[in-house]
Amino acid sequence: MPRLAVLGQLRRDLRTARERDPAARSNLEVALCYPGVHALWAYRVNHWLWTNGLPLPARFGATVARTLTGVEIHPAARVGDGVFIDHATGVVVGETAEIGNDVTIYHGVTLGGTSLEPTKRHPTIGDRVVIGAGAKVLGPFTVGADSRIGANAVVVREVPAGSVVVGVPGQVITRSRPRRPLRDGDNLPDPLGLSLQSLLTRVDRLEAAAAVGAGAGAGVDGESAGGAGVDGDGSGGANGVGGSGSGTRGRGRPARAGGGPGIGRAAGVGGRGGGATSTAGTPVTIRPPKGGVWQGEDFAI
């Protein structure tokens, strides 16, 4: 490796760490105290050995680096420039993984495979991706540039560029948002909380629709004014005039004196009312869950 190229790479690694970690106070502090930077430096040496036909020394160097830093990067993996591994402990990067430029990786991240075949089986991470602590990205797919993967997410399928992914399995929550640096107070969406809120909203609507149906003209085994009976006698006119009602299988019965309501069952099978309707006569539609997830007005996964 040319000496100037090596020195330039070392300086960039130090500069990257200072730019993305506000706790870093000097290049000397980063060089001495940041195991993520040490792991990257060891990887670059081991990768050079691997690509120059020395796989055993490369693997041995990777094992030593893992022991000293807590980061295991296979020497055959491809890691771009400007990568920063913060806190470092527990990071695993598989043999066929590819990491783009300016990627930030937090502790506990695994870029792993789901196949035992000696082919491409690890993910490809695009430029400027942020992978949160404890996240697992498993499989030979691509995570698009400028995406963010939330802490402890388990990503098992393709992620479009500019996405935010959270949950188990990982769900794309937002897309195509302008990229900006993370700031204090920025929170990733909570899909479970939003799903529960959507469910509670729909339960309220269902209860409201049931109340409207109960308060409408259709009664349940109760009194009905002038309704047609199904299994029993129909009632006569409510005001006592025209004293013959009609029943489907029974016979009409005169209205009571004084115009009291006749006794009979409301229209509908077995005396129960029909579907719930609003006071304006428009049916209230309650959509069932789609794919096991309730779809809210402004939220869907």
| β-bridge partners, 138 | 112
pLDDT tens per residue across span 275-292: 444 444 555 455 555 544
Sorted by sequence, the CB contacts under 8 Å of residue 189 that are 6+ apart come out as 164, 166, 173, 174
pTM to 2 decimal places: 0.59
Q: 171-174 and 164-166 as β-strands: parallel, antiparallel, unpaired?
A: antiparallel
| Lowest-confidence segment of 144-158, 212-226, 286-300 by average pLDDT | 286-300
Element (H, E) at 57: helix 55-69
Most confident of 184-188, 189-193, 202-206, 263-267: 202-206
Sorted by sequence, the CB contacts under 8 Å of residue 43 that are 6+ apart come out as 62, 65, 73, 75, 77, 79
Q: Nearest CA to 113 among 139, 151, 149? A: 139
Q: DSSP state, 159?
A: B
User: Quick one: pLDDT at residue 175?
Assistant: 63
290 token code pair: 């789609």
Helix (H, G, I), strand (E, B) or coil at 259: helix
Ordered by where they begin, the domains of the chain are 3-174 (2.160.10.10), 191-271 (no CATH)
Break the chain down into helix, strand, coil percent, rounded to 5: 30, 15, 55
pLDDT tens per residue across span 114-142: 888 888 999 999 999 999 999 999 999 99
216 token code pair: 């409408």
User: Quick one: pLDDT at residue 264?
Assistant: 41
State the Cα–Cα distance between residues 171 and 188, nearest whole angstrom. 12
**What is the average pLDDT across 179-196?**
59
Sorted by sequence, the CB contacts under 8 Å of residue 24 that are 6+ apart come out as 17, 18, 30, 34
**What is the average pLDDT across 214-230?**
51
User: Which one is predicted more confidently, 248 or 219?
Assistant: 219
> Residue 143: pLDDT above 60?
yes
Q: DSSP state, 127?
A: T
State the Cα–Cα distance between residues 138 and 293, nearest whole angstrom. 24
Model confidence at 202, pLDDT cuts 50, 70, 90, reads: confident
User: Quick one: pLDDT at residue 46?
Assistant: 94
User: Quick one: pLDDT at residue 180?
Assistant: 52
SS (H, E, C) 195-258: HHHHHHHHHHHHHHHHHHHHHCCCCCCCCCCCCCECCCCCCCCCCCCCCCCCECCCCCCCCCHH
Sign of the Cα torsion 111, 112, 114, 115 reads positive
74 token code pair: 């296979």
Measured in degrees and rounded to the nearest 5, phi and psi for residue 68 equal: -85, -30
User: Quick one: pLDDT at residue 42?
Assistant: 94
| Lowest-confidence segment of 42-46, 266-270, 292-296 by average pLDDT | 266-270
Amino acid at 72: E
94 token code pair: 């598989």
Residue 166 half-sphere exposure, CB side, CA atoms within 13 Å?
15
Average pLDDT, the chain: 75
Peptide bond into 283 cis (omega under 30): no
State the Cα–Cα distance between residues 53 and 49, nearest whole angstrom. 7
Is-contact 252 237, C-beta < 8 A? no
